[in-house]
């Protein structure tokens, strides 16, 4: 993993490249934070809200699916909220870290293809994802995804520090 965030002074040809570089960085941070944890640490919460590190990774998989695949491109999705059960994030006990990370990485590739296949100024497809509202542009969705990743990577920094003292940047 590239442990340093992208350097704003490194020129990129397009804003799309900037978005993709930052998303890749945050995805790597998320995976790095859960690697090396025991199964018990992955499935236990250290916070009053009750979420676990493994649940957070699965949540981010579905966040990308909901915003880009189902939302922006308007593809039918059988269970866009498959990261939740009874109103909380959920990972089936039979799902391993390897499976959750594999699905996370696979969704990242799908998301990359969506982003590379469109202009940032394009609007998403009308669908139930938007609850009757007008769909946002791809650029607005990507800003939102970066916000989600920055928040959740910070959450994992704190949880990892509570588990074993490993700190983020």
Q: Please report, for the chain, the start and end positions of each structural domain, with discontinuous segments joined by +.
A: 15-164
Chain centroid offset of residue 67 CA: 10
Q: Is residue 133's pLDDT more than 90?
A: yes
Q: Report which DSSP code applies to 163.
A: H
CATH superfamily of the domain spanning 15-164:
dinb family like domain (1.20.120.450)
Alpha-carbon span 93 to 34, nearest angstrom: 16
Evaluate if residue 110 carries a pLDDT over 70: yes
pTM for the predicted model, two decimal places? 0.93
Residue 64 CA neighbour count, 13 Å, CB half: 25
Q: What is the pLDDT of residues 35-56, one digit of tens each?
A: 999 999 999 999 999 999 999 9
């Amino acid at each position: 993993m590239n442990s340093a965030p992208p350097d704003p002074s490194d020129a990129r040809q397009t804003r799309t490249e900037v978005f993709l570089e930052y998303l890749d960085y945050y995805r790597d941070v998320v995976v790095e934070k859960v690697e090396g944890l025991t199964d018990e640490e992955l499935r236990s919460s250290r916070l009053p809200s009750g979420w676990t590190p493994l649940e957070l990774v699965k949540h981010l998989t579905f966040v990308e699916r909901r915003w880009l695949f189902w939302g922006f491109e308007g593809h039918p999705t059988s269970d866009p909220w498959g990261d939740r059960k009874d109103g909380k994030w959920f990972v089936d006990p039979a799902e391993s870290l390897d499976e959750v990370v594999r699905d996370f990485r696979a969704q990242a590739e799908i998301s990359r293809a969506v982003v590379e296949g469109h202009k940032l100024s394009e609007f998403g497809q009308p669908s139930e994802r938007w609850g009757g509202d007008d769909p946002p542009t791809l650029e607005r969705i990507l800003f939102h995804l970066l916000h989600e990743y920055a928040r959740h990577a910070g959450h994992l920094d704190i949880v990892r520090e509570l588990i074993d003292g490993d700190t983020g940047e």
